[in-house]
Structures are given as structure tokens and as C-alpha cells.
């Protein structure tokens, strides 16, 4: 479940629970014959609703807006989520599919080059078809560092044995010491 979905579900659930409790309290107060209201000043809304029929333009407009918002929420949920797992190449007779997260692939790439001399830091972004490894170095003359980084990262990526491995892009950045 997406984070936005969780927050939206929590907010709407709590709002529905609170509104239900308040409406129930107002109904109980009305049944007890007490005048006025507890929390919600609903007399203005109730009189507006009594004056307007279901076929009035204002009522239809409000209903249309609510339907549109509901449809937008449904369509947002039906949109396919982006793939976060990359499938590993396994034995064809196995009934088990093994996968690794894109974050895991990125960490494997970072770990593979972090021990090289001259590498001060790494970061990675892995997508379904591409993996970008950014390596920071304070060396003025990088020499063959980029080649070493590319070779190590390519070996790490090949070692994962992905079915459709992403294309590796290496970015060597000089930072001041």
C-alpha cells in the first residue's frame, strides 16, 4: 500500500468516525427532546435541504462534484504501481521466482566500489532499465579510477544474475577535499 493511500485512508477513516459519533450524539439529544444542538449547528443546513429538491441545479452540481472526486480517487488507485523488484534468473524447472529490490541492487553497486582507493562516497539510482552509479572522489588526477569503478560495478551487476539487468551508467564526480 502506498504511503499516500495509508495517510488518506487514516484521515478519511478518522473523519468518518468523528462525524458518525457527532451525528449519533445529535440524534440521541433529539430523541431525548432537548432543544438546540450539541456540536453541529445543523439547523441552517437542514432548512436549506428542505427547500431544495433532488432535481435542483445546486444539488445536482454538488452531487456531480462528489462523483467526479470519487472517480478520480478510483482511477488513481487503478493506475499500476511502478515495479520495485527486479527478477533474478533462476532454474527453469523451479516454481519459485526470486527477485531483488531496486534499492538492494543500488546498495550492491555502491558496496562493490566503496573499497576502491580514491572513492570518497557513492550514491545510486536504479530503475527498471538503467542503473546510475555516482562516485565522488577528491583525487585531482583520477587516472583509471573510472575504469576500475565501471569494471567492479559491472561485475557486481552481472553477479546478481538478473533476468533483464539494467544498463549501467557511471558518473565520476570530483569533490574538493
Residue boundaries of the structural domains of the chain: 3-78, 86-174
Q: Please state the CATH superfamily assignment of the domain spanning residues 86-174 in this structure.
A: ANL, C-terminal domain (3.30.300.30)
Question: Is a pLDDT exceeding 80 seen at residue 14?
Answer: yes
Q: Cβ of 87: how many Cβ atoms within 10 Å?
A: 13
Most confident of 31-40, 60-69, 128-137: 60-69
Strands (DSSP E) found in the chain: 85-87, 99-101, 121-126, 130-137, 167-174
pLDDT of residue 73: 84
Residue 82 pLDDT class (50, 70, 90 cuts): confident
CA 170 and chain centroid, separation:
26
Q: Distance (Å, rounded) from C-alpha 158 to C-alpha 162?
A: 7
Alpha-carbon span 11 to 4, nearest angstrom: 11
Q: What is the mean pLDDT of residues 21-29?
A: 89
Buried b (16+ CB within 10 A) or exposed e, 27-60: eeeeeeeeeeeeeeeeeeeeeeeeeeeeeeeeee
Gyration radius (Cα) of the chain, Å = 30
pLDDT for 15 beyond 90: yes
State mean pLDDT over 109-128: 90
Amino acid at each position: 500500500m502506498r504511503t499516500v493511500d495509508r495517510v488518506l485512508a487514516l484521515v478519511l477513516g478518522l473523519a468518518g468516525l468523528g462525524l458518525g459519533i457527532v451525528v449519533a450524539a445529535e440524534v440521541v439529544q433529539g430523541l431525548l427532546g432537548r432543544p438546540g444542538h450539541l456540536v453541529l449547528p445543523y439547523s441552517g443546513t437542514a432548512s436549506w435541504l428542505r427547500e431544495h429538491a433532488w432535481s435542483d441545479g445546486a444539488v445536482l452540481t454538488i452531487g456531480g462534484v462528489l462523483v467526479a472526486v470519487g472517480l478520480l480517487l478510483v482511477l488513481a488507485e487503478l493506475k499500476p504501481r511502478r515495479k520495485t523488484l527486479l527478477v533474478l534468473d533462476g532454474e527453469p524447472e523451479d516454481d519459485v521466482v526470486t527477485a531483488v529490490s531496486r534499492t538492494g541492487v543500488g546498495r550492491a553497486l555502491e558496496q562493490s566500489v566503496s573499497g576502491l582507493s580514491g572513492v570518497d562516497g557513492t550514491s545510486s539510482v536504479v530503475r527498471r532499465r538503467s542503473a546510475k552509479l555516482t562516485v565522488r572522489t577528491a583525487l585531482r588526477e583520477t587516472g583509471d579510477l573510472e575504469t576500475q569503478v565501471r569494471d567492479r560495478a559491472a561485475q557486481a551487476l552481472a553477479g546478481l544474475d538478473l533476468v533483464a539487468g539494467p544498463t549501467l551508467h557511471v558518473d565520476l564526480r570530483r569533490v574538493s577535499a
